[in-house]
Structure 1
Amino acid sequence: MPRRITSRLAAGALSLALVLPAAGQWTEPGWESDAGLPSLSSHDSRAAAGEEFRLGRAWLRQFRARAPQWQDPIAQAYVESLLARLQPHSGLGGRDLIVTLVDSQRLNAFAVPGGVVGINAGLFAFAGEEAGLVSVLAHELGHLAQRHYARGQARAEQTQLPTMAAMLAGMLIAAAGGGDAGIGVAMGSQAAFIQDQLAYSRRYEQEADRLGLRAMAQAGYDPDAMVRMFRAMQRMASLQGGSPPEFLLTHPLTESRLSDIQSRAGQVTVPSPREEDLQYHLIRARALLSIHDRDPSQAVTRLAQDQPPAQARRYLDALIEARRGEVDTALQRLDALARESPDLTLLPASAAQVAFDAGRYDDAIARSRRVLRLVPGHLPSSLVLGEALLQRDPDEAWRVLRDLAERRPEDPQVFTLLAEAAGHSGREAWGHLARAEQLQLNGRITEAIRQLGVARQVAEREGDTAAAARIEQRREAFIGYRETLEKF
């Protein structure tokens, strides 16, 4: 890749890192939020961690603009629950994590400073057991906990963030589909500063392995699953010859590293072992259906290869039936599964989504509300409820989605729906503001600034002083993004 393009990507990461929105940024007066910056021991560490946070959030915005997103709130909620289970044991403390799901069949996962964790749909397809997926997530959290991006070999503090920005630019290209070219940028950028490092050094990989083993064991997962998962990747790399899984390009896997993992896994005890979770197999069915969207029969075949629970096969059949227009049959199947496994919120939430997709809005509203009475704040059900209410009661949709946006200020999908709800409920200025926030979350800053201009005109015309004040605050921040970018 030409040097100037790499420089622009790195510069973009740095420029957008300078001014990022705080939680609850767009909200009406009276809404409160917390920036959620990580807390570290020393002043210098806190400052560096703050820079990592902003840089990671900026990277995520650029990534969303370039990579295909797997828009599946049910899978999103599941992955977030896994991370919440691992985080107390990972050394990350209460740091906020953001999950981004990638619509790609490639076997990959990544973690970026600032608490960004990315997972390809292909990782679910590859991992036949939940503990295998968990082992990869635990390993990535180990990298974040040890701040491997920012650490260098006795380098001055001012060199660390430029190195990290340049490497993240390469990761952006790779994760968005650039493959070896992006990895080359990442490696080359690091090598200019740290001669003996790959994308991660072997020492850093070992640290992440050991932290990951401990975290997954304390969370109740079999640590040997990490051995099984990585050996399966190694076999895949051997079969593919010069095209190993993307995950291995940034996480060098050697026999000595595998031996170390196996040795340490045998020494780790699991205080409270977890049973195999049916939920994982249901999410895996969703991932396979996303990957084989044009030929669902392939999803059925691949799921069956790993002999999943019968409920997972029935669940996948229901999703396929819904796509074929056999909605009554699909709902009956999902309702039967929900009666068999009443603790799995995923099942009634899936039924609500099927009802909504079929245009059965009243049924979708009723089903979503039943879930939310049992599990307040449930993401997939809140989204379905808000979107279905747009067809029946835009004012109520606005209230539901506004509350969801307060809890999830980094979720572009929420702001997309919120903009629509605001427009349908007569809150035109707030609608344009929500649309602007959705644009900037997806890395489209120039369009976002234009949208803020429209929002300001509408607010002035309507005499909405609260909206006008918030729009002006956001306009100053958005211009700061653009001006800093132009300096590079």
Structure 2
Amino acid sequence: MFRQLKKNLVATLIAALALGQVAPAFADPADTLPDMGTSAGSTLSIGQEMQMGDFYVRQLRGSAPLINDPLLVQYINALGMRLVSHADSVKTPFHFFLINNDEINAFAFFGGNVVLHSALFRYADNESQLASVMAHEISHVTQRHLARAMEDQKRSAPLTWVGALGSILLAMASPQAGMAALTGTLAGTRQGMISFTQQNEQEADRIGIQVLQRAGFDPQAMPSFLEKLLDQARYSTRPPEILLTHPLPESRLADARNRANQMRPVVVQSSADFYFAKARALGMYNSGRNQLTSDLLDQWSKGNVRQQHAAQYGRALQAMEASKYDEARKTLQPLLSAEPNNAWYLDLATDIDLGQKRANDA
């Protein structure tokens, strides 16, 4: 596995360094980036963007800690496509990925690909806040910020790839640390290639907030989420990672708040799927923050019906993760009896049965 990791990392760097060069005639088209021409050339075509996006997706699948949980993947893609259906200037198919990462971040890259960190489930108070992050990233894609600034960034690209090389060297000594560093470098590279000027960020906010409203979410969720990030940056010695790749001056928050205030106020309830997805992400991909998860489930148990059901589901999930299969089954059974076709319940019931069987066989 370590050897394959190094191979993937080296392949990524070689392809990255080849950016802007003509691919050799003997190269496998599936493993090479398209010819971008010289720095004086025109912006990428849509076809080139999609080809580059496909390449990066292969590297992502081969090396990054992707979460392939079918329920979570289905949820974020359904949420993402709901937003995309209300966006303008959509020129590529969209795909949404979830990475098991405890840092709050998200990024978009070529070909309509959007990556979310699992920590966003912990940090988003409601579905509209999670959707606001996705709408922002979708807007970076539809406005082609990455392609529009590609030419300007080619001159500084060698410095960027030095960071990737450092990550590869680190991976040879520590695969886990190296992969984390490379994931961060590439995320920062794809986002950093557009320099994340205030203009680009505010444009993504402005268009994203329109998409958010059209899709039926609360437009106030965008400034409220940005304010949470700023508060954490103010009162923490270490700012959220998302602020390193998405600069957030006070003017950006003020602009987002002003635009949201101009829109019709709405009351939006988070879907049941949001609460189930959040409970699942916290229960299975939350880096040992068990007390935080328990506190949230206690809070939900006193909330609305959707929150109460998600709290009970979350407790059953916690019991299953702790190999307390009888307790997990007992906690889940009332929910399953009431909704026998609920995919979240059925999946957990299957996991409990499989875990119990493995325990008995052992």
Which of the five TM-score ranges fits, normalised by the shorter chain? 0.7 to 0.9
After TM superposition, give the deviation of residue 125 of structure 1 in Å. Answer: 0.7
Q: Aligned equivalents of 1:313 and 1:348: distance in 2?
A: 16
Query: 1:127 Cα deviation (Å)?
Result: 1.0
Match among 137, 142, 153 for residue 140 of structure 1: 137
Shift of residue 248 of structure 1? 1.2
Instruction: Call closer, same or farther: CA 1:89–1:168 in 2, change over 3 Å.
Output: farther
Q: What is the distance in 2 between the residues matched to 1:343 and 1:169?
A: 49
Q: Does 1:127 align with 2:124?
A: yes
Q: Secondary structure at the match of 2:148?
A: coil
2:78 to 66, 81, 88: 81
Which of the numbers 210, 218, 224 marks the counterpart of 1:222? 218
**C-alpha distance after superposition, 1:182-218 (max 9, x if no partner):** 389739984xxxxxx63x1211111111111111111
State the partner residue of 2:319: 321
Q: Which structure 2 residues correspond to residues 395-414 of structure 1 after superposition, within 5 A? A: none
1:212 counterpart = 2:218 = no
1:58 has 2:55 as partner: yes
Q: Report the counterpart of residue 251 of structure 2 in structure 1.
A: 256
- Measured after TM superposition, the shift of residue 249 of structure 1 is 1.2
* Identical-pair percentage: 29
2:263 matches 1:268: yes
Distance 1:83 1:187, change over 3 A: closer
Quote the Cα distance in structure 1 between the aligned partners of 2:215 and 2:163.
29
C-alpha RMSD of matched pairs (Å): 3.9
TM-score normalised by structure 1 residue count? 0.57
Number of the residue aligned with 2:282: 288
How many Å apart are 1:6 and its aligned residue?
9.4
Alpha carbons of 1:185 and 1:254: their partners in 2 closer, same or farther (altered >3 Å)? closer
Distance 1:324 1:137 in 2: 32
> Number of residue pairs matched?
320
Q: Distance in 2 between matches of 1:316 and 1:280?
A: 12
Q: Distance in 1 between matches of 2:138 and 2:79?
A: 12
Greater gyration radius: 1
- Write the distance in 1 (CA, Å) between the matches of 2:191 and 2:85: 35
Which runs of 5 or more structure 2 residues have no equivalent in the other structure? 1-9, 32-41, 168-176
Give SS of 1:149's match.
Answer: helix
- In the alignment, what sits opposite 1:417? none
Q: Matches of 2:159 and 2:51 in 1, distance apart?
A: 15
Residue 232 (structure 1) aligned to one of 228, 233, 242: 228
SS of match in other structure, 2:107: strand
Give me the whole-angstrom Cα distance separating, in 1, the residues matched to 2:97 and 2:148: 24
d(CA) in 2 for partners of 1:91 and 1:11? 33
* Inter-CA distance 332–20: structure 2 relative to 1 (3 Å threshold): farther
**2:181 matched to which residue of 1?**
178
State the alpha-carbon separation in 2 of the partners of residues 80 and 65 from structure 1. Answer: 20
Instruction: Report how far residue 116 of structure 1 moved.
Output: 1.2
Secondary structure at the counterpart of residue 118 of structure 1:
strand
The separation in 2 between residues aligned to 1:351 and 1:168, in whole angstroms, is 47
Cα shift readout 1:250-275 (whole Å, capped 9, x = no counterpart): 111111111110111112237x8642
2:16 match: 10
CA distance in 2, matches of 1:211, 1:188: 17
SS of 2:317's equivalent in the other structure is: helix
Residue 322 of structure 2 aligns with an amino acid whose one-letter code is: R
Give the SS at the match of 2:103. coil
SS in 2 for 1:275: coil
Distance 1:147 1:120 in 2: 22
Q: What CA distance in whole angstroms lies between the structure 2 residues aligned with 1:226 and 1:175? A: 33
Name the structure 2 match of 1:408. Answer: none
What's the CA shift for 1:162? 4.9
**TM-score in terms of structure 2 length:** 0.74
